[in-house]
Amino acid sequence: MKNKIVHIYTHTHWDQEWYFTSSRSRIYLFNHIKNVIRILENNDDFPCYLLDAQSALIESYLQWAPEDKDVLFKLIAEKRLLTGPWYTQTDQLVIHQESLVRNLWYGIKVATDAGSSMALGYVPDCFGQGGNMPQIYKQFGIHHALFWRGIADNTLRETEFIWQGENGDRIFAVQMPWGYHYGGLLDETPENMATFLNEKMSPIEARSDRVNLLYPHGFDQAPVRENLPDLVKQFNACDDERHYQISSPLDFLEALEKESANDVRILQGELTEGKHSRVHKTIFSCRADLKLLNNEIESLLVNTLEPVLAISRSLGHAYPSKIIADIWKLMFYNAAHDSIGGCNSDDTNQDIFFRYKQARDLAVNLLELHSRLIAIRTQREHDYTFTVFNPLTNTAAPQVTFEAWLPGIPFTLRDSAGNALPYVIEEQTDLTSYVLNQTIRLNPGKPYHQPEKVYRTKVTVNSSDLPALGYTRWHLDFDADGASKRVTDNMLVIENAFYRMEVEENGLLTINHKTTGKRYERQMLLVENGDDGDSYNYSPPRGDLIVTSEGCLVSARRENNGLNQSLLLDYVLKVPGNLEERAQGIATSTMKVAVHVTLQYDDIIRFTVDVDNQVLSHRLCVHFATDILANVSYADQLFGVVARPVQLSNALKVWEAENWHEKPISIEPMQSYVNLHDENHGFTLHTNGVREYEIVGDNFDTISVTLFRSFGYMGKENLLYRPGRASGESVVATPDAQLSGPLSFAFGWRIYSGSFDEAQHARLSKSLLTSFPVYQDSDFLNGRLRFCLSDEQRTYPQEYSLLALPDGPEDALVSVVKCAEEGEGLICRFYNPNLNATATIPALNNARYVLLDEKTPSQERAALNPNDVQTLYIEIV
């Protein structure tokens, strides 16, 4: 009588790019799926095969083999070829929450349309598991998860557990302690087979007392083992203790869940321990240039383009769903764990860059088209009219910078009510002949305004209130000059209603917080040091030299343009040129850093940091000191906030003795902000692309944010922070990853009084990451410059609001407003970003509660607990 059931799930883990390019991967994928189809078609004893749970592989194959669609869909419908629920094997820690949700939505749709989507959160190789994944899985009908990285045996000796999300939702989960590739090699020699099986199964049985055991068979780009059914018969013949069978991984989890009943432990939140499986905790700053692009495009898609398209469809324009799908799918390819990590060859990272470029170009032009379709149908009384869009669901009065084509004469900018708006001209270039020669007059007899001069002009405006999720009109009045003038001087103090800031003699900043009267010195310290790491891990050199910006200020001036006050600070840091110089304590190179510190009318101190990077293998961070001696930090995660210890003290005591794969460091990811606070006040750094932070200082009172790190090889061995083998290919040089040349970063620093929840950090981050499109409606611009469109009847009102929602501290935050993927409705997704307080969803007419899949009815909840998410489907009538 055999007392163990060994479920062999056979698969390939198919990285679509890595040290190889996506082109090479696709060629070999084509050959691989051809073989899979042939083997499954011709061998009924081969019950199922897992194609890495990413349905993009199916789409990729069918682009080149449409003749195989029927047989492929038949195998998928019969659940012999397993695919979905992912579109690509995405990261979970640094991509936008909507990117992850859409990845599942499109992944499930592609797989379901092909016949069946596997309802399993299968994540074989992602570098850690996000804390809110259980609820996200459940809202897509997925109640089980199987993954490799993120749990140490100190935390979980067995392999199975209940995984509880930050909101309390639970799913049944299994960790593969030795990875998806554990059983990739099978000894087929008859005389060795029993010994081989015992050697492979003994560690598994040591970690699990269950009857049902999992044996993963496969590895990266693994070929199908055509004789696997025969081998399984041989396994059963030579092993008296175990019964072997080819299973789907979901069948195994369901059997194990039934067997274990309630006899399992509960683990909660994110899983990022690197004892047995490297989670590469500093990958968040690798290829900072690409991560900045990712952040820019995700924000453009979610915060601006999709809401504007919702406005456009409500006015009668068709929703370009297939274009949006193509843009998102480009982003999904780049969100795959290696791709977003940047841990690739330079050739592959160039492919990633061009996908970002294509996605951004498509998004920008689609946004322009629909802004234009609305503008040219809106009533107009002035030759220079601007349609200004607010993608937020609340009224907003942002500072907006946009490009305009102006006649070069003084003007006052007025809103729809005739109020003058403060503005400043940042730049202007005379392009008269170029622009006017582009004009196309479809009806030459119709009069139109042709200016004598045309200047391409960059304008910054302090707007009046913009209608919620809608638009309004501005126009130029040439009767007076309303422009603010720029004044520059050598005074090194700026202030507004919230702060007074001054430059110290050593080049650092002192911030006086007017609300509390507190004075914070030694702010914005730039810290540069060596990076002996690779494309996966930052690791300090064994011989390092740390350089700071203290005493390195070479010029400073103040600028006041009537809208903003700014400090323009130039630093020159003497730094080692490479690791060899650094080990010798030699600094022969210079690094120029220009910092622009700006105060507007709100309580955000805005920073832009421009670096001329000519140094090799190093890291640049920026430090902000607080008066809080922290035990934990706070940052946003998928649909919520996570608290993390500032130091992993217990793990640090044992990691070397226990041979951890990585040093347990507290360098952590954030979505858009990091925070330290107590009951009465706090400090928040809001990022515009930088995604990595650490709490440093003797008292853990300083927030350090990594601006970038650079390195020269994809993989290196024996790092201080990652002993042993290289994670990537050690022979692959990555000169592009040195990031030589100009780099630019933007972030905001905020000091506030009151509680964490009252400060509404996530709401503020969303506003900071939202752009407010402006479209100039002037007849002389209709032509080759923009493409020529026909005249339209102007029937739209001067102002319009599709949906207005409350935005107080007690109100749930809107993750996205978008057109429904199916049907004519509007999707409005809410979540609770608070630590403690519930958040209220407003009552909306013609709305029904649905899950993240946008169709399955959900229990109506007027109040959300922290980290909870709820989607409403709103019928537009």
The mean pLDDT value for 302-315 works out to 98
Say if residue 210's pLDDT is above 80. Answer: yes
Number of Cβ atoms within 10 Å of the Cβ of 837 = 16
Nearest-angstrom CA–CA distance, 847 and 817: 13
Confirm whether pTM is higher than 0.95. yes
Strand 160-164 to 266-268 pairing: parallel
With vertex at residue 234, the alpha carbon angle to CA 230 and CA 235, rounded to the nearest 5 degrees, is 115
Q: How far is CA 219 from the centre of its chain?
A: 27
Is residue 672 within 8 A of residue 636, CB to CB? The reply is yes
Q: What are the structure tokens assigned to 103, written together?
A: 């990845």
As to burial, measured by CB atoms within 10 angstroms (0-12 exposed, 13-18 middle, 19+ buried), residue 150 is: buried
In the numeric block, the tokens 């163990």 are attached to: 4
Strand 565-575 to 493-495 pairing: unpaired
CATH code assigned at 316: 1.20.1270.50
With DSSP H G I counted as helix, E B as strand and the rest as coil, what are the percentages for the chain, rounded to 5?
25, 30, 45
Listing DSSP states for 509-538 in one string gives EEEEETTTTEEEEEESEEEEEE----SS--
Say if residue 418's pLDDT is above 90. Answer: yes
- Percent of the chain exceeding pLDDT 70 equals 100
Number of Cβ atoms within 10 Å of the Cβ of 572 = 15
Asked if residue 479 and residue 612 are part of one domain, the reply reads no
In this predicted structure, what is the pLDDT of residue 419? 97
Is residue 281 within 8 A of residue 272, CB to CB? The reply is yes
Is residue 610 within 8 A of residue 744, CB to CB? The reply is yes
Is residue 139 within 8 A of residue 639, CB to CB? The reply is no
Q: Which of 322, 353, 375 is the last residue of a domain?
A: 375
User: Where are the alpha helices (H) located in 208-244, listed in sequence order?
Assistant: 228-238
Is residue 341 within 8 A of residue 368, CB to CB? The reply is no
User: HEC string of 249-314?
Assistant: HHHHHHHHHHHHCCCCCEEECCECECCCCCCCCCHHHCCHHHHHHHHHHHHHHHHHHHHHHHHHHH
Return all residues near 137 (Cβ < 8 A) that are at least 6 apart: 121, 143, 145, 171
Nearest-angstrom CA–CA distance, 206 and 399: 62
- Summarised one tens digit per residue, pLDDT across range 517-559 is 999 999 999 999 999 999 999 999 999 999 999 999 999 999 9
Nearest-angstrom CA–CA distance, 343 and 334: 12
Eight-state DSSP code of residue 373? H
Is residue 722 within 8 A of residue 800, CB to CB? The reply is no
In this predicted structure, what is the pLDDT of residue 606? 98
Query: Which of these ranges, 207-211, 493-497, 826-830, has the smallest mean pLDDT?
Result: 207-211
Query: How many domains does the structure of the chain reveal?
Result: 5
Nearest-angstrom CA–CA distance, 317 and 309: 9
Confidence of residue 469 (pLDDT cuts 50, 70, 90): very high
Say if residue 86's pLDDT is above 70. Answer: yes
Backbone angles phi, psi at 207, to 5 degrees: -95, -10
In the numeric block, the tokens 């006017």 are attached to: 436
**Which of 157, 158, 133 lies closest to 145, judged by CA?**
133
Is residue 864 within 8 A of residue 839, CB to CB? The reply is yes
Nearest-angstrom CA–CA distance, 524 and 210: 55
Asked if residue 202 and residue 150 are part of one domain, the reply reads yes
Residue count (the chain)? 877
Nearest-angstrom CA–CA distance, 273 and 252: 25
Nearest-angstrom CA–CA distance, 295 and 307: 17
Q: 276 versus 796: which is more confidently predicted?
A: 796
Nearest-angstrom CA–CA distance, 741 and 614: 6
Residue 528 within any structural domain of the chain: yes
Residue 795 within any structural domain of the chain: no
Confidence of residue 877 (pLDDT cuts 50, 70, 90): confident
Residue 494 within any structural domain of the chain: yes
- Summarised one tens digit per residue, pLDDT across range 339-364 is 999 999 999 999 999 999 999 999 99
CATH code assigned at 745: 2.70.98.30
In the numeric block, the tokens 């330079």 are attached to: 346
Is residue 388 within 8 A of residue 779, CB to CB? The reply is no
Listing DSSP states for 707-737 in one string gives EEE--SBS--SS-SSS-SS-SS-TT-B-GGG
Asked if residue 722 and residue 819 are part of one domain, the reply reads no
Asked if residue 456 and residue 532 are part of one domain, the reply reads no
Residue 659 within any structural domain of the chain: yes
Number of Cβ atoms within 10 Å of the Cβ of 695 = 25
- The SS3 assignment for 398 reads coil
With vertex at residue 173, the alpha carbon angle to CA 724 and CA 33, rounded to the nearest 5 degrees, is 75
Asked if residue 460 and residue 390 are part of one domain, the reply reads yes
Mean per-residue pLDDT of the chain:
96
Q: Which of 375, 393, 415 is the last residue of a domain?
A: 375
Nearest-angstrom CA–CA distance, 794 and 315: 12
Say if residue 387's pLDDT is above 80. Answer: yes
Q: Angle at which helices 288-299 and 321-335 pack, to 10 degrees? A: 150
Residue 8 within any structural domain of the chain: yes
**Which of 393, 390, 389, 432 lies closest to 409, judged by CA?**
432
Asked if residue 503 and residue 356 are part of one domain, the reply reads no
Nearest-angstrom CA–CA distance, 575 and 545: 8
Buried b (16+ CB within 10 A) or exposed e, 365-386: ebbebbbbbbbbbbebebbbbb
Preceding peptide of 85 cis, ω within 30°:
yes
Asked if residue 612 and residue 477 are part of one domain, the reply reads no
Provide the domain limits for residue 436: 385-483
Eight-state DSSP code of residue 30? H
Nearest-angstrom CA–CA distance, 639 and 92: 12
Eight-state DSSP code of residue 439? B
Is residue 158 within 8 A of residue 176, CB to CB? The reply is no
- The SS3 assignment for 625 reads strand
Asked if residue 362 and residue 392 are part of one domain, the reply reads no
Asked if residue 718 and residue 616 are part of one domain, the reply reads yes
Residue 775 within any structural domain of the chain: no
Residue 619 within any structural domain of the chain: yes
The mean pLDDT value for 790-818 works out to 95
Tell me the one-letter amino acid at 452: E
Asked if residue 363 and residue 507 are part of one domain, the reply reads no
In this predicted structure, what is the pLDDT of residue 786? 93
Asked if residue 408 and residue 493 are part of one domain, the reply reads no
Return all residues near 681 (Cβ < 8 A) that are at least 6 apart: 516, 751, 752, 753, 754
Q: What are the structure tokens assigned to 669, written together?
A: 């990811």
Asked if residue 496 and residue 576 are part of one domain, the reply reads yes
- The SS3 assignment for 800 reads strand
Residue 10 within any structural domain of the chain: yes
What is the enclosing helix (H) or strand (E) of 799?
A: none
With vertex at residue 397, the alpha carbon angle to CA 771 and CA 844, rounded to the nearest 5 degrees, is 85
Q: Which of 240, 259, 279 is the last residue of a domain?
A: 279
Nearest-angstrom CA–CA distance, 258 and 280: 34
Nearest-angstrom CA–CA distance, 214 and 5: 9
The mean pLDDT value for 97-114 works out to 98
Q: What are the structure tokens assigned to 786, written together?
A: 């923009």
In this predicted structure, what is the pLDDT of residue 41? 96
Q: What are the structure tokens assigned to 230, written together?
A: 């025969």
Say if residue 1's pLDDT is above 70. Answer: no
Nearest-angstrom CA–CA distance, 691 and 673: 8
Is residue 295 within 8 A of residue 335, CB to CB? The reply is no
Listing DSSP states for 104-137 in one string gives HHHHHHHHHHHT----SEEESS-SSB-TTHHHHH
Nearest-angstrom CA–CA distance, 734 and 541: 18
Beta bridge partners of 246: 8
Query: Which of these ranges, 181-190, 314-323, 439-448, has the smallest mean pLDDT?
Result: 439-448
The mean pLDDT value for 135-157 works out to 96
In this predicted structure, what is the pLDDT of residue 262? 78
Q: Angle at which helices 346-375 and 22-42 pack, to 10 degrees? A: 90
